[in-house]
Structure 1
């Protein structure tokens, strides 16, 4: 299969170099695979010229058949992946900040993988009772393992201290954060005291501003309102584009962990299992 994919790419591009770039291989590896294939077939597939290649008549015939075969394999794989999900809906309830800042930008990948599965996405941070709420999946952040449902732990909540680049220029030591407004997560008021205890800083700042969700905290921090404790995965984009910075990289894991919840059952429906498997893939870089 690898050799056939190499041939198809080289023939489509009519270039060993472009095929190597597409398949993340070296030019030499492509050339070696093609030579082995030609030896096995007993005929030339390419005419080699200075810095370019072209298909022989046999190569042209072979390309059409190989492309059709690879397309058949691709369709068969897609059919298996989407088996049991056709014309079904998947109801998912997710934390507001996680939905807005992180999940929605990635949902197109899930949609491409399961195109026949209709997703009904809603937000909430209340306790989920699957006997009352008609959800297939919920994602929550809690301090202890959920009860009355099936669950899979996605990750711990690692927080980082962040602020705008402008405010960061005023900070020379951790104690300097007392000169800034502390942006507080109002449903998790214990985070700042826990953080200060771990890093050994006394907080004596009366300037505080409360907000209910991490998304709101991130927007306030970007605007320069103050300094905040926010999970790193929530603010990847802001850290990348420089609208937020980490003035002091003190690792801090909060008491909260993220779980994906589902109704108690002997076996999950294929649609729910497909979403959980996908979640575990995209959360993999954050698990430890």
Structure 2
């Protein structure tokens, strides 16, 4: 039998939701991703099909005739898949505990609002979530998965690079009105990540600014920095993925376009299963419950990952 030719399934989910709502924003809310992620998935699907599925005019979204015809087929197919999946998932199964340890800022502002979506996919998993930014020792710390940021790839465990850290210069809208050039930054208060004091000097060197301001306010986590920035207390450097909601709502803005990839990267860590501590793990080597969480993470973070990172996913 000839194998089926299938388009990217994530793109299909994005299309079906966007077509049903006639809104990329509402589709993003339903699928727990950003408006930009939905738009990217739709472009991927349109490129794959070589047809336009939506018409965008005067901020109104509508389906093309091809899109309407495709939606009818896709909706029934996805509904059949959903029903078949629900039948299997509704069968009695043994509840498994999944112990996850995540960076504090990631947990508070990013992971917890999305966990319900993961739980809906995997109702048999009991998620035990804790926070920490210490070095993980899986022999001592009985976690199934940990997420850490570091300037050097962690060792003594299985490591999967999640993404680089794309830092945005952000502030409240009223404060942004006072910033027209890089020199204006020296007249503002800089909100400093106290465990990463080198970020402002590195950013200034990259953008060609000599920092002269001595007005600093230190905070320990990105969550605290984001809240202080929203309150108009100063300028902050915060990862883009972390403040997508605030940027979309307009409570934070980017006063100057200064792209900066910090020295830090985010990694997913799991215990060693093989004899070699340096071997890159295959998905089949991880426990299924950990792999389910990692697959979900990779899907959520897809819009922020670079090509080389995607190529090394396993």
Q: What's the secondary structure of 1:183's corresponding residue? A: strand
Partners of 2:145 and 2:268 within 8 A in 1: yes
Q: 1:114 to 1:182 in 2, by over 3 A?
A: same
299, 304, 310: which one aligns with 1:281: 299
226, 229, 234: which one aligns with 1:226: 234
**Are 2:178 and 1:170 equivalent residues in the alignment?**
yes
Superposed counterparts of 1:129-208, under 5 Å? 129-208=137-216
Equivalence for 1:4: none
Q: 1:269 to 1:175 in 2, by over 3 A?
A: same
Q: What's the secondary structure of 2:269's corresponding residue? A: strand
Q: 1:22 to 1:72 in 2, by over 3 A?
A: closer
Structure 1 stretches of 5 or more lacking a match?
1-19, 35-66
Q: 1:130 to 1:197 in 2, by over 3 A?
A: same
Question: How far does residue 84 in structure 1 lie from its aligned partner after superposition?
Answer: 11
Question: How far does residue 107 in structure 1 lie from its aligned partner after superposition?
Answer: 1.1
In the alignment of these two chains, the number of paired residues is: 236
Equivalence for 1:96: 104
Q: 1:29 to 1:142 in 2, by over 3 A?
A: closer
Q: 1:243 to 1:121 in 2, by over 3 A?
A: same
Equivalence for 1:268: 286
Question: How far does residue 30 in structure 1 lie from its aligned partner after superposition?
Answer: 6.4
Structure 1 runs (4+) greater than 3 angstroms displaced = 20-34, 69-76, 78-86
Question: How far does residue 103 in structure 1 lie from its aligned partner after superposition?
Answer: 1.1
Equivalence for 1:38: none
What's the RMSD between the two structures over aligned residues?
A: 2.8
Q: Give, in whole Å, the separation in 2 of the partners of 1:283 and 1:255.
A: 19
Q: 1:85 to 1:220 in 2, by over 3 A?
A: farther
**Are 2:246 and 1:246 equivalent residues in the alignment?**
no
Partners of 2:180 and 2:256 within 8 A in 1: no
**Are 2:128 and 1:110 equivalent residues in the alignment?**
no
Partners of 1:85 and 1:271 within 8 A in 2: no
Partners of 1:141 and 1:259 within 8 A in 2: yes
Q: Give, in whole Å, the separation in 1 of the partners of 2:197 and 2:71.
A: 61
Equivalence for 1:255: 263
Q: Give, in whole Å, the separation in 1 of the partners of 2:70 and 2:225.
A: 55
Q: Which deviates more, 188-197 or 101-110?
A: 101-110
Structure 2 stretches of 5 or more lacking a match?
1-17, 22-52, 54-62, 275-284, 307-314
Q: 1:197 to 1:78 in 2, by over 3 A?
A: same
